[in-house]
A and B are shown apart, each in its own frame.
Chain A
Amino acid sequence: MLKLENINLYYDGIHALKDVSLEVPEGKVISLIGSNGAGKTSTLRTISGLSKPKSGKITFKDQDLLKVAPEKLVNMGIVQVPEGRRVFAPMSVYENLELGAYLRKDKDGIEKDLQRVFKRFPRLDERRKQMAGTLSGGEQQMLAMGRALMSGPKVLLLDEPSMGLAPILVREIFDIISELNQLGITILLVEQNAKMALSIADYAYVLETGKIVLEGKGEDLAESDEIQKAYLGG
């Protein structure tokens, strides 16, 4: 469904992505793992159009994404939950969710999705009038995901959803990701937490200093020696 071919991205003179190619088939969970600074966030930013690659091709259902304005991607169903949640801190939880549905015009559908989000994340319902900046890290991550769900995503790009969260919350976030996938949402998951990311991935890519160095089925990669050594502390 989503396909990157030989993407080269330069960032402040640094060759941040080197011939990155990856494929996200419909209905799957694809993980992109790698250490800090490997180019994971750059990959997502490039897909979302926030960074312009020097060369390469990105297609979504055979449509050239590099020719689409970044704010139009949401309409096509490509929705990103950025690194560090990036909730709108001075706005209420409710307003944050409303902004997720910014481009939608189907009032009934929005209301239905809102109820769905509140049902899945009761904490957000309790705190709907609270400023997003006052939420805990885990709640902010839920808000960021709820906000993305309000856009009606077909592909969800998740950037380090487990970052800075307590282990029990990490578990919950990954449960939610699997749940969303079962609802039919395709997922591209970027993570430093290789163990968790591989455990739910149908297929995974390993990024190292801007290059894809390894790829394979989630469970195969989790067992491979290289991954064990480099990322799983085995």
Chain B
Amino acid sequence: MKNALLFYGVYNRKGVSMDIFIQQVINGLSLGSIYALIALGYTMVYGIIKLINFAHGEIYMIGAYIGFFAITSMGLGFIPALIIAMIGCAILGMAIEKIAYKPLRKSTRIAVLITAIGVSLFLQYTTVFFLRPEPRIFPKILTDGRFNIFGLKAYITYQQLTIFIVTILLVVLLQYIVHFTKTGKAMRAVAFDKDAATLMGINTNNIISITFAIGSALAGAAGVMVGVYYSAINPLMGIMPGLKAFVAAVLGGIGIIPGAFTGGMIMGVIEAMVSGYGNSLYRDAVAFLILIIILIFKPTGLFGKSEREKV
């Protein structure tokens, strides 16, 4: 009897820990999807003009606001709001590139980097000024509900499922564009060698512009989905996810698209694990600990190869 009880206890504890683990993986993957979408923009822009676009987190924030107004003022549903936010962010991204970065195309990289930080602060506080600093409650547009996973006490909510599916669709679409369309091939050519691309007749300025548009659209989608997921948005919401997505991009190997996706997912899962098992206060510290570790041991990231040129 005593043995049986003991056995039951162990079994039960094991069952619970499995539930928690699976639950954290699910939470981590949906958070990771957000990081992945933002990290893709970082990595694409870095790939093409070697700039860490520190204003990228703000594009994501503005995407959330565009989604918010599309839903509240225009009464749109989730998908139309998502599309409008993506278009709005694409235009914003192109405008930032044209106004702030393009004039500095021949300047030092540090000059452009500092400009990016300036743009980031400009967008944060312009939003504070016009849209007030306090958080806004994102309307519930996806029905509440959840699925049970494998009969465990772990659940995936409709919101999480939506985030996950939309992210996968967008990433597949991105891979298609980059690998199979003429524009995508031109993007890769420009990223590798701008002068050689020009000699092919590729207008590098247009391609850089398109890259900003696509990266920003992905960030816009992430913004709307975060609004749906966490149901509150504010003008400074882009800072932390922006930095973490940057870490994700570095983790995967900056400039490498599959790397950014994987890096984002890993960051999400690690963060969920730290929150679930440890102390959620440490999760930001852990994110940057990852950055430090990567920079010390494998600065090229998980997918990065050290460059070797052939003569």
B186 near A102: Cβ-Cβ < 8 Å: yes
Smallest Cβ distance from B181 to chain A, in angstroms?
Answer: 11
Task: Report the nearest A residue to B193, measured CB to CB.
Answer: A86
B198 near A151: Cβ-Cβ < 8 Å: no
Residues 84-103 of chain A, each 1 if its beta carbon lies under 8 Å from chain B, else 0? 10111111000100111011
Task: Using known A-B contacts A70-B198, A71-B198, A89-B310, determine if residue A99 contacts B203 with beta carbons closer than 8 Å.
Answer: no
A86 near B200: Cβ-Cβ < 8 Å: no
A99 near B186: Cβ-Cβ < 8 Å: yes
Tell me if A56 counts as interface (CB < 8 A to partner B).
no
A82 near B199: Cβ-Cβ < 8 Å: yes
Chain B residues within an 8 Å CB radius of A134: 310
Q: Which of B185, B196, B199, B202 contacts A95 (CB 8 A)?
A: B185
Give the docked Cα–Cα distance between A80 and B196 (Å): 9
The majority secondary structure among interface residues of chain B is helix
Interface size for A (C-beta < 8 A) is 34
Tell me if A74 counts as interface (CB < 8 A to partner B).
yes
Tell me if A38 counts as interface (CB < 8 A to partner B).
no
B201 near A102: Cβ-Cβ < 8 Å: yes
Residues of chain B in range 196-211 having any CB-CB distance to chain A below 8 Å? 196-204
A91 near B202: Cβ-Cβ < 8 Å: no
Residues of chain A in range 122-156 having any CB-CB distance to chain B below 8 Å? 133-135, 137, 140, 147, 151
B201 near A74: Cβ-Cβ < 8 Å: yes
Chain A residues within an 8 Å CB radius of B204: 71
Task: Using known A-B contacts A74-B200, A133-B310, A164-B311, determine if residue A86 contacts B195 with beta carbons closer than 8 Å.
Answer: yes
A69 near B185: Cβ-Cβ < 8 Å: no
Task: Report the nearest B residue to A50, measured CB to CB.
Answer: B195
Chain B residues within an 8 Å CB radius of A73: 201
Give the docked Cα–Cα distance between A151 and B198 (Å): 12
Task: Using known A-B contacts A91-B185, A91-B189, A164-B311, determine if residue A82 contacts B202 with beta carbons closer than 8 Å.
Answer: no
Give the docked Cα–Cα distance between A91 and B202 (Å): 16
Interface size for B (C-beta < 8 A) is 20
A99 near B195: Cβ-Cβ < 8 Å: no
Give the docked Cα–Cα distance between A134 and B310 (Å): 8
Smallest Cβ distance from A80 to chain B, in angstroms?
Answer: 5
Tell me if A48 counts as interface (CB < 8 A to partner B).
yes
Tell me if B188 counts as interface (CB < 8 A to partner A).
yes
A103 near B201: Cβ-Cβ < 8 Å: yes
Tell me if A79 counts as interface (CB < 8 A to partner B).
yes
Give the docked Cα–Cα distance between A135 and B311 (Å): 10
Residues 167-200 of chain B, each 1 if its beta carbon lies under 8 Å from chain A, else 0? 0000000000000001001101100110111111
Chain B residues within an 8 Å CB radius of A91: 185, 188-189, 192
A86 near B201: Cβ-Cβ < 8 Å: no
Task: Using known A-B contacts A50-B195, A82-B196, A102-B186, determine if residue A137 contacts B201 with beta carbons closer than 8 Å.
Answer: no
Residues 48-75 of chain A, each 1 if its beta carbon lies under 8 Å from chain B, else 0? 1110000000000000000001111111
Chain B residues within an 8 Å CB radius of A89: 192, 309-310
Chain A residues within an 8 Å CB radius of B192: 88-91
A contact residues vs B (CB 8 Å cutoff): 48-50, 69-75, 79-80, 82, 84, 86-91, 95, 98-100, 102-103, 133-135, 137, 140, 147, 151, 164
10 contacts between A and B (CB under 8 A): A70-B198, A70-B199, A71-B200, A71-B203, A84-B311, A89-B309, A90-B188, A95-B185, A102-B182, A140-B310
Given A72-B201, A74-B199, A99-B200, 5 other A-B residues pairs in contact with their CB atoms under 8 A: A71-B200, A80-B199, A88-B192, A137-B310, A151-B201
